[in-house]
């Protein structure tokens, strides 16, 4: 079974530039999560999808962050414009609907904003 695939693995941009991250979840996993992990911290939820619907986006900074999950499979997280404080690892995870916390994570996209 293929795992969660994320790209790019690393991205370095200057502040005010846009950036996008892509995630392909495990086949059959209807729930998709985007987490942000700052250095030395645990992952913090940004947004959760059940199929195509964003059901929990209360922690997503909507002035500069956006996300979409077309056809309930792949997802894209976008930041525009990026700020210095956005430097972090962006983790995508997926799970079967209704599970109680067993998430499968990708390797993450490490963003550095200069």
Contacts with other proteins by CB under 8 A lie at: 4, 31, 33, 40-45, 48, 50, 55-56, 91, 93, 98-108, 110
Name which of 7 and 17 has its Cβ closer to other proteins: 7
Q: Tell the smallest beta-carbon distance from residue 100 to other proteins (Å).
A: 4
Q: Which of 74, 57, 59, 65 is nearest to 22 (CA)?
A: 74
Shortest Å distance, C-beta 89 to other proteins? 9
State the nearest-atom distance from the C-beta of 26 to other proteins, in Å: 12
Report in angstroms the alpha-carbon separations of 24 from 13, 42, 46, 78, 114.
23, 22, 17, 15, 28
Contact between 47 and 23 under an 8 Å Cβ cutoff? The reply is: no
């Amino acid at each position: 079974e293929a795992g969660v695939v994320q790209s790019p693995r690393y991205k370095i941009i200057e502040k005010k530039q846009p950036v996008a991250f892509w995630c392909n979840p495990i086949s059959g996993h209807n729930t998709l999560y985007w987490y942000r992990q700052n250095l030395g911290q645990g992952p913090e939820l940004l947004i959760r999808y059940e199929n195509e619907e964003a059901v929990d986006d209360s922690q997503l900074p909507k002035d500069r962050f956006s996300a979409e999950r077309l056809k309930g499979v792949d997802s894209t997280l976008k930041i525009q414009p990026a700020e210095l404080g956005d430097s972090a690892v962006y983790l995508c995870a997926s799970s079967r609907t209704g599970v109680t916390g067993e998430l499968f994570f990708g390797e993450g996209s490490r963003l550095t904003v200069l």
